[in-house]
Structure 1
């Protein structure tokens, strides 16, 4: 099986099992729900699977849960962000707790990053 096939298979599986914060955010982003911007969920780019991706803005939105506090995960996230920058993709990290408690603020931040306003 070609290596790229595996990442697409993993992404499809991840789309079927979103975390509660990811599902809440996806409900707002899907079908152009954020001022017509189109997002994809669990979208592969290179060796990585992005939580959400807006191709028009080249913006990745990553929902950051407690696992991202681990030093190894932090280092991985930094490598990933640097690699995505080489692909002209901006990464916006949002805390899972902010999706839960401050969804309007998270959506406003995503809109600012995606549109520059």
Structure 2
């Protein structure tokens, strides 16, 4: 079980109800165990962050990044966040909204391959 900040519960609920178009599209391809039968969660609190998508079996976080992530401040905040999540053994995959909206099949294939790799690394 990853560290959970219960104070983020309402914020994560609000984010689930107000997903971006890119998040909605990606969620349509992750939900219902469509990738290797793996369960994904959306807008999941971990530490003091809310990650866009989380797969506990593969220790994988997926982020859909809008333009605010590509400012100097956004890039630095993401670097710090990714480091903190990596300390928990989580791999973070980042896709910008344009990738998700324009090349969803490529994005899903990358997620699929990453899950395969992560599961293979954890098997005895």
With normalisation by structure 1, the TM-score equals 0.93
* Regions of 4+ moved over 4 Å: none
The yes-or-no answer on 1:39 pairing with 2:15 is: no
Report how far residue 6 of structure 1 moved.
2.4
Whole-angstrom distance in 2 between the partners of 1:19 and 1:66: 12
Residue 27 of structure 1 corresponds to: 28
Residue 65 of structure 1 corresponds to: 66
The yes-or-no answer on 1:52 pairing with 2:53 is: yes
- Secondary structure of the 1:32 match is coil
Report how far residue 5 of structure 1 moved.
3.1
Whole-angstrom distance in 2 between the partners of 1:86 and 1:26: 26
Q: Quote the RMSD (CA, aligned, Å).
A: 1.1
- Secondary structure of the 1:61 match is strand
Whole-angstrom distance in 2 between the partners of 1:104 and 1:37: 18
The yes-or-no answer on 1:115 pairing with 2:116 is: yes
- What are the Cα deviations for residues 41-100 of structure 1, in whole angstroms up to 9, with x where unaligned? 000101010000000000000001111111111100000000001111110001110111
Give 5+ residue unaligned stretches, structure 1.
Answer: none
Matched length? 114
- Secondary structure of the 1:62 match is strand
Whole-angstrom distance in 1 between the partners of 2:80 and 2:108: 25
Report how far residue 107 of structure 1 moved.
0.2
Residue 79 of structure 1 corresponds to: 80
Report how far residue 114 of structure 1 moved.
1.2
Whole-angstrom distance in 2 between the partners of 1:45 and 1:5: 10
Report how far residue 8 of structure 1 moved.
1.1
